């Protein structure tokens, strides 16, 4: 069983449900270590001061907030805790419920599982079932890592999932001058695009996708261990520029042929 990273409670109305928090995802991106080329000795990083290049011990390090270029104010741990607006709270404080479709996925940041503590199983199940039956998610505030965060609580596969969210001013506006260009779209082009979308529409099955980059690196690493030569694949020839409508028609036909073959 994985180890919880946080223990607290989900609170909504006058109901409090003791829970434990677990990370729901993990990165499996291949990791590389920096080595010296001559003898493959591991390269370590040191904390050095910009002013004189001297190494700095951990107990000498303080946290500074840059107020203008090159000028800082220093915060103690107590001052940061006071500024974080968390008050040491360990509550997932649900302040309202909304339909999940109202939330743009761009706001989602990281996913966690909320599992019940033994004394809160019944209340947990009641909330889980209610969210599932109503098709709603809870909007909550929670203190994690010395920072108040916005989060959602939703039901998924018999467990509550908490997703931390970006604050509205952390989402960059989509301002690109190219989007203001005036282009003419023919009806046939629009129809073909819709047909292509229909042809490629299928239920989402995450197991149908795999990380080719990770598989290729792991395979290449094993070949290196076995002393085999690694040969880089040839780069594909650049696609010739063709008429957009012809490309859409060809794509639709290719999709139909793949479906017929399967």
| pLDDT, tens digit, 9 for 90 and up, residues 11-63 | 988 889 999 999 999 999 999 999 999 999 999 988 999 999 999 999 999 99
Q: For 119-157, write each residue's pLDDT tens digit.
A: 999 999 999 999 999 999 999 999 887 788 999 999 999
**Is 89 buried (19+), middle (13-18) or exposed (0-12) by CB count in 10 A?**
middle
- Please check whether residue 72 is in contact with residue 82, taking contact to mean a CB–CB distance below 8 angstroms: no
Which pLDDT score is estimated for 85?
A: 64
What band does 179 get if pLDDT is binned at 50, 70 and 90? confident
Query: Beta partners for 10?
Result: 17, 92
Q: For 223-249, write each residue's pLDDT tens digit.
A: 888 887 766 666 666 556 567 777 777
Helix (H) or strand (E) holding 75: strand 71-75
Q: For 83-125, write each residue's pLDDT tens digit.
A: 776 666 788 999 999 999 999 999 999 999 999 999 999 999 9
Which pLDDT score is estimated for 86?
A: 63
Helix (H) or strand (E) holding 216: helix 212-225
Q: What is the DSSP letter of 42?
A: B
pTM for this structure?
0.79
Q: Tell me where in the chain the CATH 2.40.290.10 domain(s) lie.
A: 6-26+83-169
Which pLDDT score is estimated for 127?
A: 95
Which pLDDT score is estimated for 247?
A: 77
Block residue for tokens 């008050």: 87
Angle among Cα 26, 29, 35 to the nearest 5 degrees reads 125
Which pLDDT score is estimated for 23?
A: 93
Which value, in Å, is the radius of gyration of the alpha carbons in the chain?
26
> Which is more confidently placed, 73 or 84?
73
* 6-26+83-169: CATH, from 3.90.1170.50, 2.40.290.10, 2.40.30.10, 2.40.100.10: 2.40.290.10
Which pLDDT score is estimated for 87?
A: 62
Helix (H) or strand (E) holding 9: strand 6-12
Which tokens is 258 given? 């793949």
Which pLDDT score is estimated for 158?
A: 95
Q: Is 239 helix (H, G, I), strand (E, B) or coil?
A: coil
Q: What is the DSSP letter of 51?
A: T
> Which is more confidently placed, 84 or 255?
255
162/112 Cα distance (integer angstroms): 5
Q: How many Cα atoms within 13 Å fall on the side-chain side of residue 31?
A: 3
């Amino acid at each position: 069983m994985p180890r919880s990273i946080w223990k607290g409670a989900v609170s909504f109305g006058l109901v409090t449900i003791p829970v434990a928090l677990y990370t729901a995802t993990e990165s499996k991106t291949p990791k590389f270590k920096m080595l010296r080329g001559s003898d493959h000795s591991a390269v370590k990083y040191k904390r050095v001061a910009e002013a004189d290049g001297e190494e700095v011990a951990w107990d000498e390090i303080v946290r500074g907030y840059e107020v203008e270029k090159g000028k800082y104010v220093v915060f103690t741990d107590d001052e940061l805790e006071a500024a974080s607006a968390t008050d040491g709270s360990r509550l997932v404080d649900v302040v309202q419920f909304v339909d999940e479709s109202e939330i743009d996925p761009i706001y989602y940041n990281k996913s966690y599982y909320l599992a019940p503590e033994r004394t809160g199983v019944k209340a947990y199940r009641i909330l889980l079932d209610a969210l599932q039956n109503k098709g709603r998610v809870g909007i909550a505030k929670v203190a994690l890592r010395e920072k108040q965060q916005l989060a959602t609580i939703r039901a998924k596969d018999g467990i509550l999932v908490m997703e931390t969210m970006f604050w509205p001013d952390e989402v960059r506006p989509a301002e690109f001058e190219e989007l203001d260009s005036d282009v003419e779209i023919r009806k046939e082009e629009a129809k073909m695009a819709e047909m292509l979308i229909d042809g490629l529409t299928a239920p989402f099955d995450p197991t149908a996708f795999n990380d080719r980059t990770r598989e290729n690196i792991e395979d290449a690493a094993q070949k290196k261990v076995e002393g085999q030569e690694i040969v880089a694949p040839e780069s594909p020839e650049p696609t010739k520029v063709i008429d957009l409508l012809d490309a859409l028609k060809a794509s639709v036909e290719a999709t139909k042929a793949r479906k017929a073959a399967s």
